[in-house]
């Protein structure tokens, strides 16, 4: 087991390039179960979650090959086909549930273990399952598995409105399954996230007829079969926002390349309000300059196009040293505040009340030993450690490696003093 040791107080400077979006790559990889022939996916990040899903796909009979350029080739012929995704692998990552729709759509049956993933609050699968039932599937839960079967799927109207907005993985599952349904399927209150749109564009490249993605109403005309294609995954907007925050927190200046400005509008608006100097530096880059006066700044994490819940912890971390009081609300995952006790260990003044926290800025944070409790909380602790006085040591790095490709290496390229060390030291 390794720890991440960070010597704080070093401004980040230079150029860093953003990788492919984890949250787009995973459902697109899963959708390859529904595709005939060979598919090449470009700009796929080298992450633990990607490797886990590659293992799931291999167990299901596909052959998955990665090359040195972050290209994945996914094709049939890796072994006997299976429609069973077992708990041993699925428990490691919630996104594994995205294999349910493709398996059911193409083969008419699927058995998928109830998933695991980060412990950031209750994330029910009810909307996934009700949607598949509306398409004509028979669903039951047995021995910890979702068992789905259908002689024929039929297009219908599915409403994905939930108490905290739509479901991203549910929209992905249903969209892929609906490609195989007879007639038209209309998904109302669909998730609008760029990662959902990327899956839709991939499926269209494979021959699906899909319209309306990026809005709350997606229409799918049953058009199976799907055929292999060559497709590039969109940049990771969460990684881009994380680096933007890290540079600003250290008072550095850096160019962040390979991103999509249109996917970051809400975060860039928040950055301006918080006193962070961010300017476009071309069609796919921004320049971030820290060192100015941070400002207390309230915000709420909301479904797209709002500020993503996946950057709530990182933005909260930088506000810990912003003079004044900031109020942060998470409307998507009300319990996503496991980073708060760890930031408090570093000297942050934070009070929690339900799905909101109140941050009173302090002059500086102090490095200490902390524990990464989930993927985005770990990124928040990295940001805090980079800005803190002294050394911060972060335990439970597997969380970090699930969603950030070579983060320590990229940070070192910007001048950070970051190293992986043995937990025994």
Give me the helices (H) in 4-47, please. Answer: 22-31
Which among 32, 118, 197, 206 is annotated as catalytic?
Answer: 118
d(CA 179, CA 238): 29
Give the whole-angstrom CA distance, residue 128 versus residue 100: 9
Q: Going edge to edge, which strands form the sheet with 391-395?
A: 369-371, 391-395, 2-7, 417-422
118 catalytically annotated: yes
CA angle 105, 102, 90 (to 5 degrees): 135
Dihedral angle at the C-alpha atoms of 408, 410, 415, 416, nearest 10 degrees? -20
Q: Give the three-state DSSP class for 390.
A: coil
User: What is the token pair recorded at 72?
Assistant: 């994945």
In the structure encoding, which two tokens stand for residue 420, read together?
A: 């992986």
Q: How far is it, in rounded angstroms, from Cα 409 to Cα 17?
A: 12
- Residue 289: which of 341, 242, 259, 251 has the closest Cα? 251
The first and second tokens of residue 242, run together, are 């994380």
For the annotated catalytic residues, the residue numbers are 118
């Amino acid at each position: 087991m390794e720890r991440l040791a960070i010597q704080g107080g070093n401004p980040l400077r230079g150029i860093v390039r953003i990788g492919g979006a984890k949250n787009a790559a995973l459902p697109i990889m899963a959708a390859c179960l529904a595709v005939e022939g060979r598919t090449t996916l470009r700009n796929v990040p080298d992450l633990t979650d990607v490797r886990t899903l590659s293992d799931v796909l291999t167990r299901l009979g596909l052959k998955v090959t990665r090359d040195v350029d972050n290209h994945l080739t996914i094709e049939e012929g890796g072994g006997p086909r299976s429609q069973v995704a077992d708990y041993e692998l699925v428990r490691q990552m919630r996104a594994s549930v995205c294999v349910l729709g493709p398996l059911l759509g193409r083969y008419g049956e699927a058995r998928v273990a109830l998933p695991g993933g980060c412990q950031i609050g209750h994330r029910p699968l009810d909307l996934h399952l009700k949607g598949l039932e509306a398409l004509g599937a028979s669903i039951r839960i047995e021995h910890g598995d979702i068992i789905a079967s259908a002689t024929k799927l039929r297009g219908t109207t599915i409403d994905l409105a939930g108490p905290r907005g739509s479901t991203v993985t549910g929209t992905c599952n249903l969209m892929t399954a609906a490609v195989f349904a007879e007639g038209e399927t209309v998904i109302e209150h669909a998730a609008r996230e760029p990662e959902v749109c990327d899956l839709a564009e991939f499926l269209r490249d494979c021959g699906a007829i899909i319209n309306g993605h990026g809005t709350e109403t997606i229409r799918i005309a049953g058009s199976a079969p799907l055929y292999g294609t060559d497709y590039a995954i969109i940049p990771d907007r969460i990684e881009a926002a994380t680096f933007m925050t890290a540079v600003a927190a250290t008072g550095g200046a850096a160019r962040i390349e390979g991103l999509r400005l249109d996917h970051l509008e809400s975060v860039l608006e928040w950055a301006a309000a918080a006193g962070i100097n961010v300017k476009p530096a071309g069609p796919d880059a921004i320049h971030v300059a820290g060192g100015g006066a941070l400002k207390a700044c309230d915000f709420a994490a909301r479904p797209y196009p709002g500020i993503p819940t996946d950057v709530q912890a990182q933005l909260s971390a930088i506000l810990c040293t912003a003079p004044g009081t900031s109020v942060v609300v998470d409307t998507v995952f009300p319990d996503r505040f496991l980073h708060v006790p760890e930031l408090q260990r570093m000297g942050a003044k934070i009070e929690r009340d339900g799905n909101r926290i109140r941050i009173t800025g302090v002059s500086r944070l102090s490095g200490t030993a902390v524990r990464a409790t989930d993927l985005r909380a770990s990124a928040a602790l990295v940001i805090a450690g980079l800005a803190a006085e002294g050394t911060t040591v972060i335990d439970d790095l597997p969380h970090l490696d699930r969603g950030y490709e070579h983060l320590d290496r990229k940070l070192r390229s910007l001048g950070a003093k970051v190293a992986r060390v043995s937990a025994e030291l």
